[in-house]
Chain A
Amino acid sequence: MTWDWDYAREVLPKLLEGLLVTFEATVVGSLIAYVLGLVFAFIRRSRIPVLSQVVWLFVEFVRSTPLLVQVFFLYYVLQPELGLLWTSFLTGSIALGVHYACYTAEVYRAGIDAIPVGQWEAATALSLPRSRVWLGVILPQAVPRVLPALGNYTISMFKETPLLIAIGVVDLVGEARGVGAQSYRYVEPFTIAGLLFLLLSYPASILVRRLERRVNRQH
């Protein structure tokens, strides 16, 4: 096994293209996970008959089954069945986002539960309407507390995107496999792919830890 610097330089642009796709899938997935997770947390908390139970069941189901199965199900079953013309990238990003929304829902729930009951009571005593209590009092206090946990899920998602190769998304690892297959040299592309993951994940996790310390200091 030898290392060829020229070959490494040659494949790098292709790999960076793949990294961009990985990046985009992570961003789309995170946005879905952040928004949908909050919606799930709301619905479960609201105790609307049937709907709350349905969401609870869905969340438990998604958390108990492999992401790959969900990706396949969405791509091969649900998407054609509903006549949606989603690209594999969009399908994969949505699957990723919905999967992680079932985890962020729990994060939001814990964050909301951590707000002292006195805050709710003060809001009631001032007759603030429900929407203002949420938007003005509860969420502005709960969301900063849960940012580190949300950040950690984004990092996890970033590292899980190669799973989307299974439905034809060419991400960083997909590109590495592709260029490797053309020249039968895999050492450089896979090594570089791994290093790129490390180069991004590690500083990101340090940032999250720093954020965590700051949040803990404030509470």
Chain B
Amino acid sequence: MSTDSTDPTITFDAVTKRFGAHVVLDELSFTVDPGEFVTLIGPSGSGKTTILRLLMTLEKVDGGTISIDGEYLSHMERGGKLVPADEKHLSRVRRRIGMVFQQFNLFPNMSVLRNITEAPTRVLGLSKGEAEARAVDLLDMVGLSDKASAHPTQLSGGQQQRVAIARALAMRPDVLLLDEVTSALDPELVAGVLSVLKEIASTTDITMLCVTHEMQFARDVSDRVMMFDSGRVIEDAVPEKLFTSPEHDRTKEFLSAVLNRA
């Protein structure tokens, strides 16, 4: 469909997600423009991570639709009607999205290099040489050139997370999802990961959606910050506005609680 650069990259249209009787997202609608860096903040359980998991097709929507560049993600059109997407449709659209997880989730049975080259060779059909050249560049970017042949278990958490970022980028995604990527790290390892993300944000045109508790980082790199509470966006503003003069009381409470903790 349309790839006009003025169209939003991500569109949530009245998306509802329930876990049993618990409504996590309640008819949520928002859009993200191409190349935007959007940070989702809010108390835990407010539905931020669910948004990323829905985009990565790790969860299914219960109502509403999600589109990527105007193409339905969770649904497909068949005979003029919208039906839930089948596996073939999902795997095609999903290819444009990458994700970095809180727990890294590197494959421990593969070397660092294989972790990065596996999907480009198997999914994108790159030759081994092409995939390895791409991996070497990415490892260089995340500052781990010397770890190509190491195994994930030999790396620190921060190094593992930087490999996971390289692995996601090796697929050249249009959209990169960052799910609390520094929450599982020892404090001294957080800065290295954040500086890599800052570089990606400033040097690529990848659309990024980030769930984080690192407010300074969110303030530095975000184009927009969305404050969530109980499955709804209660405030959506540029970071300077949201962090210095939030309108909503819940946002003020949340920010003072988070900033005082730090």
Contacts and interface: CB of A to CB of B under 8 A. Distances in A.
Interface of A: 116, 118-119, 121-122, 124-129, 132, 136-137, 140-141
Q: How large is the interface on B (under 10, 10 to 19, 20 to 34, 35 or more residues)?
A: 20 to 34
Given A121-B58, A136-B118, A127 B105 contact: no
A119 B107 contact: yes
Given A137-B107, A137-B109, A122 B123 contact: no
Nearest to A137: B107
A122 B53 CA distance: 11
Interface of B: 56-58, 91, 94-95, 97-99, 101, 103, 105-110, 118-119, 122-123, 164, 167-168, 171
Contact of A119 (B56, B105, B168): B105
29 contacts: A116-B105, A118-B101, A118-B103, A121-B101, A121-B105, A122-B101, A122-B105, A124-B56, A125-B94, A125-B97, A125-B99, A125-B168, A126-B119, A126-B167, A126-B171, A127-B91, A127-B94, A127-B95, A127-B123, A127-B171, A128-B118, A128-B119, A128-B123, A129-B91, A129-B122, A132-B122, A136-B107, A141-B107, A141-B108
Q: Which 7 A-B pairs have the closest CB atoms?
A: A122-B105, A126-B119, A118-B105, A125-B99, A140-B109, A127-B95, A127-B123
Contact of B109 (A121, A127, A132, A141): A141
A37 B123 CA distance: 30
Chain A interface mostly: helix
Contact of A122 (B91, B106, B109): B106
A163 B98 CA distance: 56
Chain B interface mostly: loop
Contact of B119 (A116, A127, A140, A141): A127
B111 to A, nearest CB: 12
Nearest to B57: A124
A140 B108 CA distance: 10
A99 B119 CA distance: 39
Contacts of A119: 105, 107
B58 A124 contact: yes
Contacts of A121: 56, 58, 101, 105
Nearest to A124: B58
A129 B122 CA distance: 8
